[in-house]
Amino acid sequence: MNIKALFSAASVFFLLSFSASTSAQSLYQDLGELEGIDQLNERFVINLVEDRRISHHFEQTDLARLHQMLTEQFCELAGGPCVYSGDDMVTSHTGLNITRSDFNALVEALQLAMDDQGIAIGAQNRLLALLAPMHHEVVNR
């Protein structure tokens, strides 16, 4: 590989890593950083327990812990300076008999909370895209 090719491969690598890190950074910022994510999850947890389709799942749940764990998880996923300290998704959802409809109801509860929080649709979709792959870790476990 000559020096020109090496240089151009290095700049492509640099640009790719730069764009990956800025998009992760800006999602954290678009969610209002730690304070915004904390407020978002306060609303989200209220929506979950008020939704008659899924509230039964949360009857025995420590809601303060759930709020805290969701905040750490979303902060880390969005590229913020947090480390999720909770149980993995399979462990925490096994035995709960969560259905596809339950999952969809939870997504709606989150969307309502994001609307209330004034989070832009683009940022909403980016957060949902990060959560969507967890579907198989949570449903029918």
Binding site for ligand HEM (CB under 6 A): 54, 57-58, 61, 65-66, 69-70, 73, 86-87, 92-93, 96, 98, 102-103, 106, 131, 134, 138
Q: How far is the CB of 35 from ligand HEM (least distance, A)?
A: 19
Closest residue to ligand HEM, judged by C-beta, is 86
Question: Quick one: which of 121, 117, 130, 132 has its CA closest to 46?
Answer: 117
Check if the beta carbon of residue 87 is closer than 8 Å to that of residue 78. no
Q: How far is the CB of 98 from ligand HEM (least distance, A)?
A: 5
Nearer to ligand HEM, 36 or 41 (CB): 41
In the three-class reduction of DSSP (H, G, I as helix; E, B as strand; rest coil), residue 140 is classed as coil
Q: How far is the CB of 56 from ligand HEM (least distance, A)?
A: 9
Q: Is residue 57 annotated as involved in ligand binding? A: no
Check if the beta carbon of residue 32 is closer than 8 Å to that of residue 117. yes
Please give the C-alpha separations between residue 72 and each of 84, 87, 106, in angstroms, as whole numbers: 5, 12, 18
Q: Is residue 135 annotated as involved in ligand binding? A: no
For residues 56 and 118, what is the distance between their CA atoms, to the nearest angstrom? Answer: 28
Output the known binding site for heme: 93, 136
Output the known binding site: 93, 136
